[in-house]
Amino acid sequence: MRAVVLLSGGLDSATALALARHEGFTCHALSCSYGQRHGVELEAAARVARHLGAVEHRTMNVDLAGIGGSALTDATLAVPETPTKGIPITYVPARNTMLLSLALGWAEVLEARDIFIGVNAVDYSGYPDCRPEFIAAFERLAALATRAGAEGKPMRIHAPLIEMSKAQIVKRGLELGVDFSMTVSCYQPDKAGRGCGRCDACRLRRAGFEAAGIADPTRYQ
């Protein structure tokens, strides 16, 4: 069975891909170039897709930088290096809605009925579109939005990490053979893909390895 797996090049989506493969899916990996300043993650995604046995990896371009509003796509906004309250400035407006809609379109063309996304509610940094109720709402939407759904074959949206802690994700990924040194989580990595060690994504990642009692293979600047 075919599945479309959203793959950012980070730790979570790599583990989601490994889980999809473990469940027996033939995986078509989809990355999105949306004007993010951490474009080096797309190179990581290509490596991870090969490493974990995706049959195909595509990168689609969407110019979210044109709408701005996020420190990840607007070079004039700084990435915070200390924890902030509420929804952080690194939130990209409607990003997961857009990513899932692209995955949905590709899944329809592939006649796949399964989409995997590595969102995570526990360590979710306050992003509204990482919550279980968001995923459930997208699944209901997908059943109405597509040709297959209209013909009574709804799409399943899998978010297998959604209730896991970062430490649990790290452990599960390692069990499934994920080489986390290939992945890039940092919001502002250098050109070699090395993390800053200070942004939310680096802090959550580092804390996850610590809590799991596993040596952190991440390359820092």
Q: Please select the residue that binds its own copies; options are 14, 71, 92, 167, rule is CB under 8 A.
A: 92
**116 binds its own copies per the rule CB under 8 A:** no
Q: Of 68 and 197, which CB lies nearer to its own copies in the complex structure?
A: 68
Q: Please select the residue that binds its own copies; options are 97, 153, 217, 221, rule is CB under 8 A.
A: 97
Q: Are 110 and 2 in contact (CB under 8 A)?
A: yes
Q: Please select the residue that binds its own copies; options are 2, 47, 51, 58, rule is CB under 8 A.
A: 58
Determine the Cα–Cα distance for residues 145 and 100; give it in Å rounded to an integer. Answer: 12
Q: Please select the residue that binds its own copies; options are 22, 26, 46, 98, rule is CB under 8 A.
A: 98
Q: Which residue from 97, 88, 93 is spatially nearest to 125, judged by alpha carbons?
A: 88
**Under 8 Å CB-to-CB from 24, ≥6 apart: which residues?**
1
Q: Please select the residue that binds its own copies; options are 25, 116, 138, 180, rule is CB under 8 A.
A: 138
**47 binds its own copies per the rule CB under 8 A:** no
Q: Please select the residue that binds its own copies; options are 17, 29, 54, 64, rule is CB under 8 A.
A: 64
Number of residues in contact with its own copies under rule CB under 8 A = 43
Angle, helices 166-175 vs 11-22, to 10°: value is 50
Q: Please select the residue that binds its own copies; options are 39, 128, 177, 217, rule is CB under 8 A.
A: 128
Binding mask 7-26 for its own copies (x = CB under 8 A): --------------------
Pairing mode of beta strands 114-116, 2-6: parallel
Determine the Cα–Cα distance for residues 167 and 61; give it in Å rounded to an integer. Answer: 32
Least Å distance, CB 182 to its own copies, is 24
Q: Which residue from 42, 27, 8 is spatially nearest to 205, judged by alpha carbons?
A: 8
140-179 residues in contact with its own copies (CB under 8 A) are: 140-142, 144-147, 149-150
Instruction: At 11, list the tokens.
Output: 């730790």
Q: Which residue from 2, 37, 4, 8 is spatially nearest to 130, judged by alpha carbons?
A: 8
**95 binds its own copies per the rule CB under 8 A:** yes
**Under 8 Å CB-to-CB from 105, ≥6 apart: which residues?**
none
**114 binds its own copies per the rule CB under 8 A:** no
Instruction: At 184, list the tokens.
Output: 């890039």
The helix/strand/coil state of 109 is helix
Residues near its own copies (CB under 8 A) are: 58, 60-64, 66-69, 87, 91-98, 100-102, 104-106, 108-109, 128-129, 131, 133-134, 137-138, 140-142, 144-147, 149-150
